[in-house]
Structure 1
Amino acid sequence: MAVFPKSDHYGTTDREDVVRVDANRGNYLAYLRELLRYLRVASPEIIVFGKASPYSFVPALLYRMVRGGQLVFDCDEWDPATVVDADAPLLKTLAYRTLTACAARMADAILVSNENILEKLPDQVHPQCTYTPNGVNWEQFGETVESSSPNKFTLTYVGSLHKDEQIRPVLNALPYVKDELATVDRFEDFRIRFVGPGNLDALRARVQSKHVEFPGPVPHKEVSEQLARSNVLLALFGDMASLRYASNMKLFEYMATGRPIVASDVGEVRRILGNGQAGYLVDPSNPREIASTIAKIARSPEEAEKKGQRARKRAHDHYRWELLARRVRTVVEDLLGDSDS
């Protein structure tokens, strides 16, 4: 059984095993009472809470204090870094630091989505940690499809466009990309597509170039089609503290397609891409390096194809959702076994 807010940016679901609780930000106590009332009825043996927030960790902890049970901390990013990057007030930053430290020490098991998170956790809780990064739906993204624009060199970024750090490295490199690709005879032209939600009117007004497109967001089920139109997939973002401890799902979806990937050498991206054997790693603050790397792919398609296929194999062998689900299942079964002994 899963419990989520009735409305959030992840949308809704028709699944009967998902309960949605009203997380009205203006009435936290009402939310807390409603959630605890549900937990008392459900009487779970294990509670998996995502994020060490007042809306997840606090009710899970209160329930355990009264009714017992075991806690699993789903640490999918390092929240203290995330709130700092979001310019949160000092009080909120201190609250998340305190809650995260408490959650790590009080959880019976911890799921970490990024191995760099371990450096933030106390050594004594490391044995309780299981590495469970984001993954990929292989049935959706693993199908091999030929690029639909053989004469136009197409580069695609898929993701949120709300923060400048998410697109600045590519835009800064744009003039150099234009110069570099002008010397490549294989393609008549090039385009860079930013697919995702954001202030699109402002972005189009800011970036007035025939080479840049902002088609807007698409349903997740259509993302694989967007990637299939591309010669190169871009995972370029600034070196923000939060991203060093995040698990970027788009990277695994990119890998499954077998397309060449140009990615920021930030966080655990290097390790995921096989130390650069399964993708092209660049300094996001160096626009000339980004441009020359993109041109290298255009000039050397055989090498790029090899890297893309290595990425595809790594996605299949290590990052399919069914493989990662087995790790979570093992954690839950181990906890249930401990409670029975």
Structure 2
Amino acid sequence: MRSSKRSAGNGQMQTTKRGLILFMETKASYSIVQSSRALHIFRELIKYLPDTYLMLQKNERDEVVLDNLIQVEPIIPIAGKLTLLKGILFRLQMSLKVFHFLISKKIDYVIIRGYDCIVLYPFLRLLNTKIYYDFHGKYHLELYQRKRILRGHIAKFSERVLLRNSDKILVVSPGIKAQIGEYAHKCIYLPNGVDVDKIVSSSSECPLDIPEDKKVIGFIGNWEQVMKIDDICDSIDYLKDVVVVIVGQGYDYKRIFEKYGQKENIILTGRLEYSSVLSILKRMDICIVPYNKDFYMSKLKDFFSNRKISEYLAAGKPIVIADIEGIPGYLRENVNYIKYESGNPESLADSVKYLLNDPEQISEMSHNNKILAKEFDWEQIVLKSGILEDL
């Protein structure tokens, strides 16, 4: 019997069901969005399902140490030349590792992410393993927009098979659920959360040398293609006594760095350790979410559920967001954020000046955001999602 129940020490019921969370080709790190999501979901599930395991790519820095965390080191290092081929070989290596693990541990359920997990499906079905697909939107549309047509076709086919054959689908926003309306009956709403206590209690000193009389605006997080970083950088031309700080790296980084890296009152930090990121976040006066209105995701109502927004909320920061349809529906204009016109840095500067000139509204918005953040603590998100009951 693989699923008999026993009484837990805290008076709640636990189950001996065995599970595996698998995010292909993602290193174990709280600084990487995909990995951070996997780690937090894992940390919550293991409280009630102690025979749950998490399998990720090994991080050379060994920054994450958790029981039941399995880090797989690539036989052939992926860095350097031929990264695409090396990535494919690592996926094969990871798949073989998963096959062996499923059989040896007699796994009851898996949570997987990424269209490349399609190679596991026949085997999972053969073993009668329950499949939870962590779905973050139709990736093939993003590939098409980036003119990667062949890969887009492969992703489209894989997503179709994954969605049809998964037992349950984890979705991070109502907008993403609306994309797959035909599968709404098997969707579980599990948005991106945040470790509220960790952000609130962070006490590291800001590593940046910014004069105290300067206001700080900026952005923290991986630069997805949907983020128009130029809006923030160009807004500095219309602002006085303000420093722009952009933390992270990502899409079009080289061009951004060459264009703005030496510009006065702009600081591009690149990727940093999470403790340093939190210290910079605390130093910021206003946080920006510079969505690109021309990107397909931006045109879908209530599409986004970005971790960076949850972090801004937890830190109690006023937020300025580009005026798109995809703004998370849980945010209320003039309560949690104000808008600016996407692609118009002068409009962004005007919104920043509006807030800076109204300390009372900044204080009220900060208060509102700290309250809202409590709803996006990882523990609350997992408990409210219903995934524990489903398992």
1:325 aligns with 2:378: no
The structure 2 residue matched to 1:46, chosen from 81, 91, 109, is 109
1:95–1:218 distance in 2 versus 1, CA, 3 Å: same
Q: Which structure's residues are more often helix, by fraction?
A: 1
Distance 1:164 1:79 in 2: 13
Structure 2 length as normaliser, TM-score?
Answer: 0.72
- Structure 1 residue 70 corresponds to structure 2 residue 130: yes
Deviations 1:75-116 (A, max 9, x none): 13432233234432x221112112212222222211101211
Contact 2:202 2:279 in 1 (8 A): no
CA shift for structure 1 position 298:
1.3
Where does structure 2 lack aligned partners over 5 or more consecutive residues? Answer: 1-19, 36-58, 75-85
Aligned pair partner of 1:225 in 272, 279, 292:
279
Deviation at 1:63, TM superposition (A): 2.4
CA RMSD of aligned residues (A): 2.9
Report if the CA contact (8 A) 1:193-1:213 is conserved.
yes
Q: Which residue of 1 aligns with 2:161?
A: 102
8 Å CA contact 1:113–1:131 kept in 2: the answer is: yes
C-alpha distance in 2, partners of 1:112/1:142?
27
The equivalent residue for 2:69 is: 18
Kindly indicate whether the alpha-carbon contact (under 8 Å) linking 1:273 and 1:311 is maintained by their aligned counterparts in 2: no
Deviation at 1:74, TM superposition (A): 0.9
- Counterpart CA distance in 1 for 2:184 and 2:227 is 32
After the TM superposition, which residues 173-192 of structure 1 pair with which residues of structure 2 at under 5 Å, given as runs?
Answer: 173-175=235-237, 177-178=238-239, 181=240, 189-192=241-244
Secondary structure in structure 1 of the residue aligned to 2:276: helix
Equivalent position SS for 1:215: strand
SS in 2 for 1:16: coil
SS where residue 274 of structure 1 aligns? Answer: coil
Equivalent residues in 2 for 1:132-151, closer than 5 Å: 132-143=190-201, 150-151=212-213
Distance 1:78 1:301 in 2: 41
Task: Say if 1:104 and 1:275 are closer, same or farther in 2 by CA, change over 3 A.
Answer: farther
Q: Is the 8 A contact 1:262 1:279 kept in 2?
A: yes
1:259–1:305: 8 Å Cα contact kept in structure 2? no
Q: Which residue of 2 aligns with 1:238?
A: 292
The one-letter code of the counterpart of 2:218 is T
What secondary structure does 1:206 align onto?
A: helix
**For the Cα contact (< 8 Å) 1:4–1:20, is it kept in 2?**
no
Alignment counterpart, residue 32 of structure 1, candidates 95, 98, 115: 95
Q: Residue 247 of structure 1 aligns to a residue in which SS?
A: coil
- Give SS of 1:271's match: coil
Alpha-carbon distance change, 143 to 64 in structure 1, aligned in 2, over 3 angstroms = same
Please state how far the C-alpha of 1:191 moved relative to its aligned partner. 0.8
| Distance in 1, Cα, partners of 2:147 & 2:174 | 25
Q: Indicate the residue corresponding to 1:297 in structure 2.
A: 355
Is 2:259 aligned against 1:206? yes
Do structure 1's residue 334 and structure 2's residue 390 form an aligned pair? yes
Match of 1:339 in 2: none
In the alignment, the residues of structure 2 paired with residue 14 and residue 85 of structure 1 have an alpha-carbon distance, to the nearest angstrom, of 38
* Conserved? CA contact 1:82–1:241, under 8 Å: yes
Deviation at 1:254, TM superposition (A): 0.4
Question: Which residue of the partner structure matches residue 121 of structure 1?
Answer: 180
SS of the residue corresponding to residue 74 of structure 1 reads strand
Q: Which amino acid aligns with 1:227?
A: L
Letter paired with 1:14: V
Instruction: Give the structure 2 partner of residue 253 of structure 1.
Output: 311
Change (3 A) 1:249 1:162: closer
Paired letter, 1:95: I
The 10-residue stretch of structure 1 (126-135 or 268-277) with the greater mean CA deviation from structure 2: 268-277
Cα deviations by residue, 1:218-268 (Å, 9 ceiling, x for unpaired):
211232211111111112132322465442111100011112111223354
1:308 to 346, 356, 366: 366
Q: Is the 8 A contact 2:245 2:267 kept in 1?
A: yes
Shift in Å at residue 150 of structure 1?
4.8
Equivalence for 2:341 = 283
Name the SS of the counterpart of 1:48 in structure 2: strand
In structure 1, give the amino acid aligned to 2:65.
Answer: D
Distance 1:15 1:140 in 2: 17
Partners of 1:222 and 1:160 in 2: how far apart?
A: 15
The amino acid across from 2:248 in the alignment is: G
| Paired position in structure 1 for 2:55 | none
Which ranges of structure 1 fall in alignment gaps of 5 or more residues?
Answer: 182-188, 336-341
TM score, norm. by length of structure 1: 0.82
